[in-house]
Amino acid sequence: MEKAALSYWDYVKAAFGWPVKLPLMGAMPLNKLILGGFAILGFGHPAFWLLGLAYETAYLVWLPGNPRFQRLVQATMAGQVEEQWEEREGQILARLTRDAQLRYKQLADRCQQILRAGESAASAMAGMDQLKAGDLNHMLWIFLNLLLTRQRIRENLDKTLQEDLQGEIDKIKQKLAREKPESAVAKSLGGTLEIQQRRLDNQAKASEGLRVTEAELYRIEKQIALIQEEIGVCKDPQVLSTRLDGVVKSLQETNQWMNENVQLLSTLEDEPPMPGRVTRGKVAE
């Protein structure tokens, strides 16, 4: 997590309950214990309450502004974010088929290769910084959720075939044609026909959604391949930086596509905070 992502208030809140390792006691919120001591002593003499207030004011002014403490908080919070990422990543991967897991792992491995190649191109780091800052992670997260969306759509389509629904609709229409329009039977059949027609429409939308999702998965894979190729073949730092900027814009187009297809991709998980590095796709044994 970058320093700019945290406000001074974040450091104050961290300092207030920061755990300190004490002999034989383990990690304890020392500041809170000291405040508790002042509070208890204050019942004997109110001056201790003023002393405690002075102590806490000095403590919360000095420690949150300490650069070393800020780096420690940043590292701790980045670790927590990464744990959240890996937990959510593992939960979704566990729900995917083996083929989908391997497809995700292959893309994650490519992202790792991109970052390793970028580290060797030090003069082109301006173009790599934006990728490291989260674009590759965001792309992986989109890809993982698209795999989950595709699987859910497939499962729904497998439950009922469009041909079966169309056959049932044709039979209902035939029965309806033999009934008097105002009869109770005709009204019941009409209601059933409407339900089945809506189910058929939903199946058609799901089929279209499946095709779009497949196309977007393919596009993301090609975007990542393009980044890898650009870094591998382009040795001019300025040209590489320009090309990487173009790829980043392409990644942003995918994000825009996601926002424009919220209803289609309603199965997507809530997006977790992005960690500061690309994680490797974990495949269940």
Q: Mean pLDDT, to the nearest integer, of 76-88?
A: 70
pLDDT tier, 2 (very low <50, low <70, confident <90, very high otherwise): very low
Q: Mean pLDDT, to the nearest integer, of 185-189?
A: 84
The predicted-structure confidence for 111-141, as pLDDT tens digits, reads as follows 888 777 755 554 444 445 555 545 677 778 8
Residue 266 and residue 151 in contact, taking contact as beta carbons nearer than 8 Å = no
The Cα 120–Cα 255 span in angstroms is 28
The closest of 82, 60, 56 to 8, measured between CA atoms, is: 60
Q: What pLDDT sits at residue 105? A: 92
Q: What pLDDT sits at residue 271? A: 46
Between the alpha carbon of residue 278 and those of residues 57, 85, 114, the distances in Å are 40, 10, 10
Place of tokens 């290769």: 113
Residue 273 and residue 84 in contact, taking contact as beta carbons nearer than 8 Å = yes
Q: List the structure tokens of 244.
A: 């990487």
Name the least confident of 105-114, 146-155, 230-239: 230-239
Residue 19 and residue 72 in contact, taking contact as beta carbons nearer than 8 Å = no
Long-range pairs for 248-253: beta carbons < 8 A, 24 or more residues apart = 248/130, 248/131, 248/135, 250/223, 250/226, 251/135, 251/138, 251/139, 251/223
- Cα angle at 203 between 200 and 204, to 5 degrees? 90
Between the alpha carbon of residue 130 and those of residues 95, 126, 248, 276, the distances in Å are 31, 8, 8, 11
- Cα angle at 229 between 225 and 234, to 5 degrees? 155
pTM of model > 0.85: no
The predicted-structure confidence for 226-250, as pLDDT tens digits, reads as follows 877 877 776 666 666 666 666 666 6
The four Cα atoms 38, 43, 47, 48 give a dihedral, to 10 degrees, of -10
The closest of 59, 197, 213 to 143, measured between CA atoms, is: 213
Q: List the structure tokens of 165.
A: 């629904």
Mean pLDDT in the chain?
75
- pLDDT over threshold 80, residue 66: yes
3-class secondary structure, 22 = strand
3-class secondary structure, 160 = coil
